[in-house]
Structure 1
Amino acid sequence: MVPRAGLNPEVLARAAAELADEEGLEAVTVSGLARRVGVRPASLYSHVAGTTDLRLRVALLALEETAALAADAVAGRSGRDALVALADVHRDYARARPGCWAASQLRLPAELVVGSAGPRHAELTRAVLRGYDVPPADEVAAVRLLGSVLRGYPSLELGGGFDHSEPDSETTWRRALDALDVLLRAWPR
């Protein structure tokens, strides 16, 4: 429980992130968070604008956390090693922080994107692409392709999409990364 005097937007975002991970992003509401921190819902409105604001704060936190993890993971790596490191950060984060992962999938208003870690994610992906021979004109397409796999696969996996068939999800994940590596090495001209 957070002491009432210790409430501020950052503390509330972290408490909302914990709530999201434990109970799901849908549990992140003003009333749900107020119960969690032991105050009346009205007490939160001097710190956050409402449920949408809370969820967007969790999304921004998740983007910051994954960008920091990804930057550490890809530092000093290139090619396939960098690709796998970046990919594993996303998948591992989704598994460890499912509510935050769900929040990171939310569409951010344009005014929040600029100051968020979203652009840093694109920069990190471009850094990984420098280890491949992807022409500058195709960089956006390659970033979007990687983003589709790095965000889509963990989301499908968390949703149980791979629970009922063989091979297991880990084997498929590794094969998907192998295929991405081959595709990026032989990027069509």
Structure 2
Amino acid sequence: MSPRIGLDRATLLQAATEMADEYGLESVTLSSLAQKLKIRSPSLYNHVKGLPDLRRELALSGLSKMAARFEAVLPEACGDEVLHDFSVAYLDFARQHPGLYEAVQRAPDPEDRELSEAGGQVVSLVVRVIETYGLSGDAAIHAVRGIRSVLHGFVSIERQGGFGMPLDLDVTFRLLVDTFIAGIKALRVQGET
């Protein structure tokens, strides 16, 4: 294999993203990436420090794409539509980029300021969605954790082929989000009494 002319970090990251989305995050190794790019593995060290650095870059890319998707739907909706649109954007991202989705699920090293800030930006967008229900402080954080758990649970079961019955998954998803919304409204009412 001869060195590939014009290989840059963006090309490397795009190839790693394609591999992660098609075969899963664990399939992305320096060896497999080098093979895909038709280069020798040591050539990758001109662009990344190693596999942990590559996975960090995938997580940063995933968080950036996820945030852009969430920002795109937030101004368009109002009322319960905000949470529905956010939830659909979350599901669509996970379906279209399963490898990047997997990469963003790992908690960042607290010392990694850039990754923590990227994750914080996504969380702040989710908080904005939850705040439309009048929740703030601890109640908002609990609700953010709740919607993340609900959405991640659905994504994980769907990805593993766990929904075997012949019913429309999008209908199930909408019912799930509607149920969560009813719970948030109940939580808000409890907070008011």
**Is the shorter-chain TM-score for this pair beyond 0.5, marking a shared fold?**
yes
Coordinate RMSD, CA, aligned: 1.9
- Aligned CA distance change for structure 1 residues 107 and 7 (closer, same or farther; 3 Å): farther
- Residue 48 of structure 2 aligns to a residue in which SS? coil
Indicate whether 1:137 and 2:138 are aligned. Answer: yes
Partner residue, 2:6: 6
Contact 1:29/1:50 (<8 A) preserved: no
Q: Taking every aligned residue pair, what percent have the same amino acid on both sides?
A: 35
Task: Tell me the alpha carbon deviations over residues 33-54 of structure 1, each in whole angstroms, 9 at most, x when there is no partner.
Answer: 1111121000111211222221
Residues in 1 aligned to 2:179 and 2:50: alpha-carbon distance in whole angstroms? 43
Indicate whether 1:157 and 2:158 are aligned. Answer: yes
Aligned-partner residue type, residue 151 of structure 2:
L
Moved more, 39-48 or 50-59: 50-59
Aligned-partner residue type, residue 22 of structure 1:
E
Residues in 2 aligned to 1:147 and 1:114: alpha-carbon distance in whole angstroms? 22
Aligned-partner residue type, residue 170 of structure 1:
D
Measured after TM superposition, the shift of residue 7 of structure 1 is 2.8
Contact 2:20/2:26 (<8 A) preserved: yes
Aligned-partner residue type, residue 78 of structure 2:
S
* 1:15-164 mapped onto 2 (5 Å cutoff): 15-112=15-112, 114-115=114-115, 116-162=117-163, 164=164
Residues in 2 aligned to 1:165 and 1:27: alpha-carbon distance in whole angstroms? 30
Residues in 2 aligned to 1:88 and 1:113: alpha-carbon distance in whole angstroms? 29
Measured after TM superposition, the shift of residue 133 of structure 1 is 2.5
Measured after TM superposition, the shift of residue 167 of structure 1 is 4.0
When the two structures are aligned, how many residues end up with a matched partner? Answer: 186
Measured after TM superposition, the shift of residue 12 of structure 1 is 1.7
Moved more, 17-26 or 4-13: 4-13
Moved more, 64-73 or 139-148: 139-148
Aligned-partner residue type, residue 142 of structure 2:
A
- Aligned CA distance change for structure 1 residues 92 and 113 (closer, same or farther; 3 Å): farther
Contact 1:83/1:128 (<8 A) preserved: yes
Measured after TM superposition, the shift of residue 114 of structure 1 is 4.5
Partner residue, 1:181: 181
TM norm structure 2: 0.87
- Aligned CA distance change for structure 1 residues 130 and 76 (closer, same or farther; 3 Å): farther
TM norm structure 1: 0.88
- Residue 87 of structure 1 aligns to a residue in which SS? helix
